[in-house]
Amino acid sequence: MRLSQMLFVTLREDPAEAEIPSHKLLLRAGYIRRIGSGIYAYLPLMWRVLKKVSQIVREEMDATGAQECLLPQLQPADLWRESGRWDTYTQAEGIMFAMTDRQQRELGLGPTHEEVITTIAKDMIRSYRQLPLHLYQIQTKFRDEIRPRFGLMRGREFIMKDGYSFHTNEESLKKTYQDMAQAYSNMLRRSGLQFRAVDADSGAIGGSGSQEFMVLAEAGEDEVLYTEDGQYAANVEKAVSMPADVEPSPFATFEKRETPGTETIDKLCKVLKCSPTQVVKNVLYQAVYDNGITVLVLVSIRGDQDVNQVKLLNELTKLAGNYQAKTVLFLTVPDAEAQRKWAAKSLPLGYMAPDLADDYIAGSKEVNSKFLRLVDRTAVDLTNFVTGSNESGYHVVGANWDKEFPLPATVVGVRTAKKGDRAVHNPEQTLQSARGIEVGHIFQLGTKYSQAMGATYTSEQGEEMPFVMGCYGVGVSRLAQSAVEQSYDKDGIIWPVAIAPYHAIISIPNISDSQQVEVAEKLYAELNQSGIETLLDDRDERAGVKFKDADLIGIPYRIVPGRSLKSGKVEVVERATHKSQEILIDEVNSTLKQWIEAAIN
């Protein structure tokens, strides 16, 4: 491609709309253009990158025996009602774009495809002999994200590879899951990314396992905890660790103490001269179940620990049956406005005890009249502890479970693991922390969708059995941008060679120099012919402008037919290192071939 004929517009200044480096660079270098909130046009350079990433993904998927297909993006609401997700996706989470057609039928734009694929399996897979089966597609997904941001990282329209596998049993599922873990590692390695596979939360879906593939970068929205020995890595949402040891309590007898201005654990411990490990703190949450019932949740946890909301949400989902519900729609810490809707009187915030009376709740049809009391494991074994007194300005010390306070019946593990904690597999290892961008997620689904949608096959014994399923997603457009987030410098993007839009760019320093033009044209034809994807910067611009642009768009090798022409050579500059060397014109092709092959393999 000749730059003189290309839609090639670069910006000198960082666009105001962009916060992180990769987003700024992709806009500045003319790869993407914002059309609306979370909606981007992939311009010609970006589209080439996306096609390269897709091709790597496709090759790795095909190698595992998965088959590519293309499913509809317009999905009938009925399918989502069968799985029970229509209301959650269109209203509660609100992530699905929903619409009504001219016949008054409801439809959604696919945020994911479990419903569609399960329907196909239900219709077409009759016998165990047809299993296992794995179908995948590479396609645009639609999600009405609450906070679209960072360009392609969190778009409302983005490209995903999603695959779904069907099995007769868990063992077969596990095998495909392992194959996928390997395929995903291959994809990311081949795309030139530094990444880590981590244990992930499988949320309300349950299932027996899930891993995320995290590209390591400061701008990542996720926190990853891992150990140096390489034995453990998990998303903080899921991570486990050993809490610090408890310090023995200095309080031998139960008494109430005046502790004004001690709403926080820090202040309280200063005033009482105790350790936060001797405190039971009581944290209030508000959960709304899918039948509209609000439940106030009081979590008692050790003072030095924090509640992990993802873990708490999972526990509350397990308890949904107690409230005649199926799932939790919202989980929040109720602010003053939320409290006004149900609080019968003002709460002793900062001074609550585990036995905070139920009469603080003005129960109603929508609000459960009793607190759901949960205790985290870290608080269960404490003795002579400090906690609230249910009276502002006062705490109690020397308290014990089942003496002064009944131990809540439901014991849960909802503490947040954090950097510096000892690892469970080996207490000598401490957890380290890194930021990650989730580019892939693989999942053992089990029978959740097949059961809900009545998708069964006939087993060898002649029984109707629900499919055992797995699902596997890669954010193709997010992956492409995360490569930039990991690889840039002050001059612009540094594409990994495998996914660069072009391998090389020939920048003609002066287009009125006929010798320069002649050599450039010759190389341009020759390189492209031999499979080295090459751009020709034949614009009537100063050499400096062309070099800047070549650096900005991040093409791995820049070829300059300049001063060295008199000795039959051109200058070749490597983008990543700015290393420059002079190469005989006749050897440019073979040299670049070698370099590219070495970089890609």
Residues near ligand ATP (CB under 6 A) are: 112, 143, 145, 154-155, 158, 160, 438-441, 473, 475, 477-478
Is 310 or 585 the residue whose CB approaches Mg ion more closely? 310
**Nearest to 386, CA basis, from 377, 396, 401, 394:** 396
Q: What are phi and psi of 528, to 5 degrees?
A: -60, -40
128-136, 348-356, 433-441, 486-494 -> range binding Mg ion (CB under 5 A): 433-441
43-51, 411-419, 436-444, 451-459 -> range binding Mg ion (CB under 5 A): 436-444
Least separation in angstroms between CB 438 and ligand ATP: 5
Is 234 or 504 the residue whose CB approaches ligand ATP more closely? 234
Instruction: Mark residue 446 as left, alpha or beta (left: phi above 0; alpha: psi -120 to 50; beta: remaining).
Output: left
Q: Which partner from the list ligand ATP, Mg ion, none does 448 bind, CB cut-off 5 to 8 Å by kind? A: none
Q: Where are the alpha helices (DSSP H) in 146-240?
A: 170-190
Q: What are phi and psi of 417, to 5 degrees?
A: -75, 145
Is 176 or 477 the residue whose CB approaches ligand ATP more closely? 477
Binds Mg ion (CB under 5 A): choice among 238, 441, 448, 546: 441
Q: Going by DSSP bridges, is the β-strand pair 557-560/504-507 parallel, antiparallel, or unpaired?
A: parallel
Give the whole-angstrom CA distance, residue 381 versus residue 132.
48
Least separation in angstroms between CB 520 and ligand ATP: 39
Least separation in angstroms between CB 139 and ligand ATP: 11
Q: Which partner from the list ligand ATP, Mg ion, none does 575 bind, CB cut-off 5 to 8 Å by kind? A: none
Is 151 or 398 the residue whose CB approaches ligand ATP more closely? 151
Whether residue 132 has a cis bond before it, omega within 30° of 0: yes
Least separation in angstroms between CB 509 and ligand ATP: 40
Least separation in angstroms between CB 145 and ligand ATP: 5
Are the C-beta atoms of 67 and 135 separated by less than 8 Å? yes
Ranked by CB distance to ligand ATP, the top (closest) residue is: 475
Is 152 or 375 the residue whose CB approaches ligand ATP more closely? 152
Take residue 278 and report the two structure tokens written for it.
Answer: 């001797």
Least separation in angstroms between CB 440 and Mg ion: 9
Please give the sequence-ordered ranges of beta strands (E in DSSP) within 321-463, or none if there are none. Answer: 328-332, 372-376, 385-388, 394-399, 410-412, 432-446, 456-458
Q: Which partner from the list ligand ATP, Mg ion, none does 385 bind, CB cut-off 5 to 8 Å by kind? A: none
Are the C-beta atoms of 449 and 114 separated by less than 8 Å? yes
Distances (CA, A) of 160 to 30, 41, 136, 257, 487: 22, 16, 10, 58, 22
Q: Where are the alpha helices (DSSP H) in 225-354?
A: 265-272, 309-318, 336-342
Least separation in angstroms between CB 303 and ligand ATP: 30
Is 211 or 241 the residue whose CB approaches ligand ATP more closely? 211
Give the whole-angstrom CA distance, residue 54 versus residue 95.
25
Least separation in angstroms between CB 472 and ligand ATP: 9
Are the C-beta atoms of 254 and 397 separated by less than 8 Å? yes
Q: If you ran DSSP here, which 8-state letter would residue 345 be given?
A: S
Is 269 or 483 the residue whose CB approaches ligand ATP more closely? 483
List of residues contacting Mg ion (CB under 5 A):
441
